[in-house]
Homo-oligomer: A and B are copies of this chain.
Amino acid sequence: MSTSAAQQPSPQLFFQTINAHQRTEALKAAIELEVFTAIGEGNTTAAQIAKRCQASERGMRILCDYLTIMEMLTKKGDEYRLTLDSATFLDKRSPAYLGGATEFLCSPMLTEGSKHIAEAVRKGGTAMEGEGTIGPDHPVWVKFARGMAPMMAMPARLIAKLVDPNGDKKLKILDIAAGHGLYGIAFASNNPQAEVTALDWAAVLEVAKENAQKAGVADRYSTIPGNAFDVEFGSGYDLVLLTNFLHHFDRPTNETLLRKVHDALADGGRAVTLEFVPNEDRVTPPDAAGFSMMMLTGTPSGDAYTFSELERMFANTGFSRSTLYPLPPTIQQVVISEK
């Protein structure tokens, strides 16, 4: 162990990391207590916020200070204010409110896996029984569909604009593992001639159908309930959407699916994949690269695939060319693969 004179080792990162779980719990508590909503309503001191949230002033002062340290609030004197992010995503009155996403992101099925990381590393896949989150008809996906929708509207619109910028030609679209349905629905909203077929577990499709109704595209929206690996897709699709789906599976499994996708596409059709795509070094950018850990602990053999890995899967299954597109301001990327 060599220590240069200029550098001093510090246990700070160790402590911050060993206590990082407290950040998760503090955010969950603040959402549960409606702290962000209370501040958005105009309560700014610990005493006012505590009264609105039916909590103690002392506890609220410590929580709000902690949220300030986490950069989810600002503090001036003894007054707390929302940041732009917390006003947008954590005040219940905001249309982009994400509080509901915690039900999915903090569901035991998702967090249980991360309590057994050592075991997952030994095994090379989830330490949970069965297939983890990808088990058939897992109820977590209804929570996903309901909780994650508010934050999906923006990326969904961005993808529709990227793939179908003019929105003026007949399009037959298959939305695989549609979830909340917002991706397919964005294409339908963007193009009055687009017809969308959404595929997911039956219980999840109920959420997608509600969202199609709300978006006024229900007359161009149909569904196929079941498992994407088993059901018939139909054929002649101009687009097949694969949003946040491939990361759950290993490469051979994905290639089995992609062959089926290739068959279902019309000539000149395109597969549109939304994914966390780390750079080839697998450690940048941090959010996309770090997603691998969630797949290790939550699935038998899923991963965050690099573009070269995705490209190879598509090439192996008959696609002629894949192109990578960033999707700012999201941390995800889009791969468009041509038949």
Binding site for B on A (CB under 8 A): 1, 3, 7-29, 32-33, 53-63, 65-66, 68-72, 75, 84-85, 87-91, 94, 96, 98, 101-102, 105-106, 111, 114-115, 117-118, 120-125, 151, 281-283, 286-287, 289-290, 292-297, 301, 303, 329, 331
Contacts and interface: CB of A to CB of B under 8 A. Distances in A.
A61 B287 CA distance: 17
B1 A117 contact: no
Contact of A3 (B70, B72, B84, B329): B84
Contact of A292 (B23, B25, B56, B66): B66
B91 A294 contact: no
Nearest to A289: B69
Contacts of A25: 21, 114-115, 117
Contact of A63 (B12, B111, B121): B121
A27 B17 contact: yes
Contacts of A303: 62
A287 B117 contact: no
B287 A15 contact: yes
Contacts of A3: 84, 88
Given A24-B20, A59-B125, A96-B9, A29 B290 contact: no
Contact of A23 (B17, B63, B111, B125): B17
Contacts of A55: 121-122, 124
Given A24-B17, A117-B28, A122 B59 contact: yes
25 contacts: A9-B88, A9-B89, A11-B98, A11-B151, A12-B287, A12-B331, A13-B70, A13-B72, A14-B85, A14-B98, A15-B105, A16-B287, A18-B27, A18-B101, A19-B24, A19-B105, A21-B25, A21-B111, A26-B114, A29-B117, A33-B122, A61-B282, A62-B292, A65-B292, A68-B283
